[in-house]
Structure 1
């Protein structure tokens, strides 16, 4: 641990276990996207994620999350549709042509966590929805590119904020929900806001892992929580997108643990050092 926030520093072997978990997450996200189609319920999409976990001898870090507070999460993935922005509980909602679907999924391998999210559109897409998703994905990679040893969390937040503000149309950035540290637990110090704010900010160092996850809407950023105590919706009914990766800072650079290629292509495009750990 380091600092008053008790930020967890991982060994190489621990990061390699997180990479194994991250690859399960990547597989699950792709499988759920491939399976999702009009007429399918979000519960049926969640079942695809369960199969991926079982096939890889991994466990879920989402299922029953929060049970100690009386409302455990009921799925292995958060599946949020259209005006549902994050934490959508899988259930009877039926997917339809043109729906914007954000899936947040996690896995645990030998006690080490992976967490990522992706947004996709069912069938023919509204160009404005495509632009929203691509802006959110771009903001994610802008933030990842600043997660460097010697930098600070605020550099990640500022990069996300500046990328979003530079878009040709205005988007709302969720403020109550942030990225986070990750490792031996899914949610750890430090918080990683998706907007820049003044004040002290934790320093980034080798061995840290962050889940970076911008969440944008086509409208305003204000949200409400539904009666299920989980699903977060936009107050103005605007559609949202959510992209996330788990990123490790290694002695050689950055390693995106939940990207199939470790983030090599996206990092290279931004001139950022790719730093995978060899077996």
Structure 2
């Protein structure tokens, strides 16, 4: 098929392009500079997704599937413009193509952040859970999802939305995993509280595999899917310890002591210990992939404690 990938230079988008090429698809990528995209087997379209003068009609010409992997993860001020305004502009262009009797399927890479977070509570989140995003990234991604649902009803283009948890893999831009590995290596890690926390990661290769199913499997049309490969924090930490040949940590400190001391600890740990980090280290939220398995016969393949070591 003729496929358009937005965000093709990103951590997930670049891997998606490689897999699409390997599968024999004809891939067009939007990029701001000619030499930036690494895969030479793509058709390069020079432009900026945030540019209101972008020729969206020509960008979409001949494309049957659009993968929107574009995302701003650092600068809050740019998130609404990219995630909402630019996406809406593309959706309008897709609607026009469909009105001209062209078939276009839109695949949106979103985030489980759409469901918000609830610290210190055991929680199972499914695709039916009410959205309650916090933070500019999560809010703008969720607004984009809602706009896709609305516009697809108005214009009859098809869509699939994939909401991953924390995506990891070689070359990942998020340093939180590397910081965690460093703490374990220096034997400074300790467990917070006495409940069994859950960590919600998923390997980038599993996310790309799910995106491909969303793009080309008819069963995915009109659906929202969560994807995560949850495991216990203990399993993750023990996997890291094995990989760097240090003893597995076992120290546990009551949560109330950490909560009260976190402002002091953050000074000595250079921000590695914050209230948000404490929330992450005590979270008991799960994102089961039941719907992905039921609808698309898919489950994540890469067990997080084994593959986290490759970071």
* Global fold match (TM > 0.5): no
| Structure number with higher relative contact order (C-alpha < 8 Å, ≥ 6 residues apart) | 1
Q: TM-score, normalised to structure 2's length?
A: 0.27
1 or 2, which has the higher helix percentage? 2
Instruction: State which structure, 1 or 2, has the greater radius of gyration over its C-alpha atoms.
Output: 2
1 or 2, which has the higher strand percentage? 1
